[in-house]
Chains A and B, each alone.
Chain A
Amino acid sequence: MRVAVIGAGVIGLSSALCIHDRYHSKVTPLSIDVYTDRFTPLTTSDGAAGLWQPYLHDNGNMQETKWNKETFDYLLSLINSPDSIQMGIFTQSGYSLFTEPMPEPSWKDIVLGFRHLTPQEMKICGWFNTTLMIEGKSYLPWLMDRSVCTVSSPSFLPSCTKHGVDVILNCTGVRAGELQPDPLLTPGQGQILRVDAPWLKHFITTHNPKSGKYCSAYIIPGSRSVTVGGIFQAGNWSEANNSEDHRQIWEEGCRLAPSLKNARIMDDWTGLRPVRSSVRLDSETLQLGNKQCEVIHNYGHGGCGLTMHWGCALEAANLFGKILKKKRLTTHSRL
């Protein structure tokens, strides 16, 4: 069985690993190849701060809440393991601040120690909790070491389908529309500053229901630098850093944490969140040339890719299992 994964961000690599781990002993040979033109440290996942925090409202999407929880539980189970630091997993506590009281989030019982802020702590409304960090710059190399796969340019893909790729895993993120048009997918452009401020030990996210998701300042300390952000521009495909956005991020960040004022700014980075009204995680059979190919789509995670990646990888593996059943491929059969 030949599997082609397109995309080497957190979604592509974790799906590849999950499928390999579950099926390599059941289907032999199982070859999984990752095709991409960008891999770590240049993917969207590398630029993300890596804070596990879903949106405030799940909009009734119970499936996504389930994937979020599965990811949190999976990462938490690894926190005391020897690999945790290499994987870029560690705990961090912090604040979610609002201009007015908000209903408690669906993830309040998933994170640790969720509570409302005391009057001493903040003069506005907010929550405090302990969550997990999963840093793409560490996690992606770790995943690549474990994937029995080769990483190559997507231009090889057409020739692969000629040579009998059985399943394609479409993890192309914001550029999924290039493979198959999807009007529901749009870039959520965001610039961030990376700052040297190692005295900051808490994340601070602010939320303004009027300005929407990610449009409000946030400060997320990491293991190497502090990410300061607060830009979300739907439909903007530019990956260039912008001085106006830089100024806005810096001013709002310093207002949120005055101690930042004397911190050294290391660099700027702009990424495109693969925004969709809901994650596309389904399968379909496509005619590619003269061959039928099974395609599992796994894209459109917006700003929550790292937050829900493992739950989605598990679901992608479930869909793969269904494909195997359909083709009646189990331990007893070989290709």
Chain B
Amino acid sequence: MVILIFRSRNKIGSLKLASLRLKLLSTQSKVLSLLISMRCPAAAEGIYGGRLCRVAVVGAGVIGLSTAVCIAESIPSCAVTVLAEHFTPDTTSDVAAGILLPHPFPETPLHKQRCWFKDTFDHLLSICNSTDAAEAGVFLLSGWQVFQETPSTKDPYWSTVVLGFHMMTDAELQRFPKYKFGQSFTTIKCECSKYLLWLEKRLKNAGGQLHTEKITGFEQLTSSYDIIVNCSGLGSRDLADDQSLYPVRGQILRVHAPWLKHFIRDGNGHTYIFPGIHSVTLGGTRQKHNWEMSVDEADSSGIFERCCELEPSLKKSQVCSKLVGLRPTRNSLRLEREFFVHGNRQVPIIHNYGHGGGGISIHWGTALEATQLVKESINWRNPTSKL
């Protein structure tokens, strides 16, 4: 419960405020959000002594940058700084193919997963149809997901979010002789090598900043920031002391095959072909608890062989690069607030990590939710500060 006192001052202008005592947290936060959104100086003054609320976002992958952009663009009273050891092209997101296809979270309710996916899909679809698409690295991609055995769920929850979802016809399946069942649909590819740069630009346009700095403990930030948003992915194992988080190692090949215009994915998730702007991503591996970042040649040959079986024309393709990424995996995504105590300060931390292999697929949805948690935290007052 937080008590808020409003004092009317001559400077305020059209707003006439009397002293109020508000006891309900949700009412307070709604009123405050409204006042802040009206750029009411009284509110900001009241909480942060006349300055903006300083938000630190830890992590500069797709989760960190999209959350930072969301906060900077929708909460004008925040000054957002992204702090990270790695920026594009050295993040986990840069290795990901970036296809919008959800990754299952066994312990997160399905309606939430669908909501995050839909918010992300709709957000990226409007970029696809805009003049920003090429710079942002976002475009429509159609293709097929094929199964050797008919899956138990023929119509997954995301089938109504992607475009034109239908079961493959017999004629379409003929090209995949080892496969009995398939789904055909149009989804979106979001190439992080471009998307992250575009998000960085958007963040700077909204007044945000980026600093290269490795954060090893939240205490490094409590004196300089009012709210911390933790988007450190696998780094949260140490940073947030979360042992339930573990890597799932993914190796990919990037090949030159400009005639490939469709994605093809084996429903078991182990083999996939995702055409990008300048190269095609071939994958992959799913090695749980494997921290090895160097390329494994046996994995490379396995990936290439399996992909050539699915798409024989790949035999003519040239391999341009081989990369490894560690998917920051957790049974459920951690998207919640906790309070971090350091000395006499209590700072709200919004955690937004554990997206596994589905970061790009749900990034905007989780960024929106994290931003909402930030908005609710803005009125939270540090006990040592005065109004």
- A-side residues, CB < 8 A to B, are 79-82, 84-86, 90-93, 112-113, 115, 117-118, 120-121, 128, 130, 133, 197-202, 221, 223-224, 258-259, 261-263
Contacts and interface: CB of A to CB of B under 8 A. Distances in A.
Most A Cβ at <10 Å: residue of B129, B171, B275: B171
A261 B164 contact: no
Nearest to B278: A198
A201 B141 contact: yes
B313 A84 contact: yes
A80 B316 CA distance: 12
Given A85-B313, A117-B164, A121-B164, A199 B261 contact: no
B344 interface: no
14 contacts: A79-B313, A80-B312, A113-B168, A113-B172, A115-B164, A118-B164, A198-B277, A199-B133, A201-B142, A201-B262, A202-B140, A259-B133, A261-B131, A262-B131
A85 B259 contact: yes
B146 to A, nearest CB: 13
Interface string B166-182: 10110110010000000
A85 B164 CA distance: 28
A90 B275 CA distance: 13
A91 B257 CA distance: 13
A146 B11 CA distance: 87
Contacts of B384: none
Interface string B150-176: 000000000000011010110110010
A90 B260 contact: yes
Contacts of B316: 82, 85-86
A20 to B, nearest CB: 26
Given A84-B313, A199-B137, A91 B163 contact: no
Contacts, number: 92
Most A Cβ at <10 Å: residue of B129, B140, B169, B275: B140
B175 A79 contact: yes
Contacts of A130: 142, 172, 262
A90 B259 contact: yes
Interface in B110-133: 128-133
A97 to B, nearest CB: 14
Given A200-B139, A201-B140, A112 B262 contact: no
Contacts of A202: 140, 142, 261
Interface of B: 128-135, 137, 139-142, 163-164, 166, 168-169, 171-172, 175, 184, 186, 258-262, 275, 277-278, 312-313, 315-316
A262 B164 contact: no
Most B Cβ at <10 Å: residue of A85, A113, A120, A199: A199
B31 to A, nearest CB: 38
Given A118-B164, A199-B139, A259 B259 contact: no
Contacts of B186: 93, 121, 128
B163 A120 contact: yes
A111 B153 CA distance: 28
A25 B133 CA distance: 56
Closest 6 CB pairs of A and B: A259-B133, A90-B259, A199-B139, A223-B259, A93-B142, A261-B131
Contacts of B141: 201
Most A Cβ at <10 Å: residue of B134, B171, B278: B134
Most A Cβ at <10 Å: residue of B131, B169, B186, B313: B313
Nearest to B130: A258
A130 B278 CA distance: 22
B169 A93 contact: no
Contact of A258 (B131, B168, B184): B131
Contacts of A128: 164, 186
